[in-house]
């Protein structure tokens, strides 16, 4: 596959996943904002900006963090490369450039999603209901992924799309977990100790894992069990372990297709081995924040190496046009 086509498909998947993850963050923040903020605790809207990696950009463009300004910035702002609207727009443009590779069902799902959001604004979603908007974003993401799973042949185009999905998802899970553990809790609350039940429930809801947690643990929400579920459990489709299982699978298949051992396989394999053989107690002992930061940093390295191995290279880096630098703020 030409590097330009592979690059476009890789970022189609990343943008669709990022749009959904942003909607999930906003949905939980909207719920939790109804609760009083405890002394020393970061408000939910700040946590959304930090988890999205765009707090410095927000402060530069807007300044004071407020509910409405944050919602507008994360959902529709043209100044935010990672806003839901921008994510769907760039995903659609990349998909349009590769229509000959995509199935009709997948292209129509992408195009209809952009047509549905291009004229939306904050006043419109206040009228329709915020939860209705968040559900719509998630449903459109599910529709795109369903078209990918149900209609695309399993060739290298499919593998590049799946690589984009799981790099973005593992990055989002690591960021959300790190923010919730270290930024929204009261300063006096020890990591891994007693924490507010609703905050941990909100964390699970932000990755659609609340019901799964109940089924798999049969226990009340406990911080270390939440961390175990979202980092190490291979059954959980938004866990970091699950994402790296899939990353390795698709990278190995691409290695076979291209007939050479790829450096991206080695770089991803190092983190995959840690996830395979670590226990949650080990991670807490060495530092949860340090581990999650290592995951985010490794995701950046993997993305860059995939660009070197396969994708279009511009000045030494992937031509993502994505605002990835904003995510690393």
Per residue in 219-236, pLDDT (tens digit) is 778 888 889 999 999 999
What is the value of pTM for the model shown?
Answer: 0.87
Alpha-carbon distance of 31 to 137, in angstroms, equals 17
Supply the pLDDT for residue 183: 56
When mean pLDDT is compared across 6-10, 155-159, 209-213, the lowest value belongs to 209-213
pLDDT at 322 over 60: no
Element (H, E) at 122: helix 122-128
Cα distance between residue 42 and residue 179, in whole Å: 10
**Who contacts 142 (Cβ-Cβ below 8 Å, separation ≥6)?**
none
pLDDT in tens, 230-284: 999 999 999 999 999 999 999 999 988 877 778 999 999 999 999 999 999 999 9
Residue 195 has pLDDT above 50, yes or no: no
Region 44-70: mean pLDDT is 92
Q: Is the pLDDT of residue 307 over 70?
A: yes
Three-state DSSP state, 246 = helix
Average pLDDT, the chain: 86
Tell me how far apart the alpha carbons of residues 265 and 176 are, in angstroms, rounded to a whole number. 26
Lowest pLDDT segment from 9-13, 30-34, 104-108, 272-276:
30-34
Q: How far is C-alpha 76 from the chain's CA centre?
A: 18
- Cβ neighbors of 83 (< 8 A, separation 6 or more) are 22, 73, 74, 75, 76, 77
Residue from 67, 66, 85 nearest 75 by CA: 85
pLDDT at 97: 94
């Amino acid at each position: 596959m030409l590097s330009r086509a592979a690059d476009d498909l890789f970022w189609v998947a990343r943008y669709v996943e990022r749009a959904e993850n942003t909607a999930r963050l906003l949905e939980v923040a909207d719920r939790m904002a109804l609760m009083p903020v405890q002394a020393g605790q970061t408000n939910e809207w700040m946590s959304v900006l930090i988890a999205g990696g765009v707090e410095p950009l927000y402060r530069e463009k807007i300044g004071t963090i407020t509910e409405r300004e944050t919602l507008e910035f994360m959902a529709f702002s043209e100044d935010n490369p990672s806003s839901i609207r921008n994510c769907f727009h760039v995903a659609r443009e990349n998909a349009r450039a590769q229509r000959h590779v995509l199935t009709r069902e997948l292209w129509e799902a992408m195009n209809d999603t952009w047509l549905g959001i291009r004229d939306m604004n904050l006043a419109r979603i206040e009228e329709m209901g915020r939860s209705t908007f968040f559900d719509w974003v998630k449903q459109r993401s599910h529709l795109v992924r369903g078209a990918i799973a149900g209609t695309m042949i399993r060739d290298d185009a499919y593998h590049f799309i799946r690589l984009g999905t799981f790099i973005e998802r593992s990055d989002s899970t690591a960021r959300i977990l790190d923010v919730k553990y270290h930024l929204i809790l009261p300063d006096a609350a020890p990591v891994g100790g007693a924490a507010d039940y609703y905050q941990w429930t909100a964390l699970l809801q932000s990755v659609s894992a609340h019901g799964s947690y109940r089924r798999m643990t049969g226990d009340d929400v406990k911080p270390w069990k939440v961390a175990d579920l979202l980092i190490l459990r291979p059954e959980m489709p938004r866990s970091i372990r699950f994402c790296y299982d899939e990353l390795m699978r698709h990278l190995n298949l691409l290695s076979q297709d291209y007939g050479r051992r790829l450096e991206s396989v080695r770089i991803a394999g190092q983190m995959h081995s840690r996830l395979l053989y670590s226990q949650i107690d080990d991670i807490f002992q060495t530092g949860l924040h340090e581990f999650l930061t290592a995951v985010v940093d490794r995701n950046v390295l993997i993305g860059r190496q995939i660009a070197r191995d396969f994708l279009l290279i511009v000045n030494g880096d992937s031509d993502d046009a994505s605002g990835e630098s904003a995510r690393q703020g």
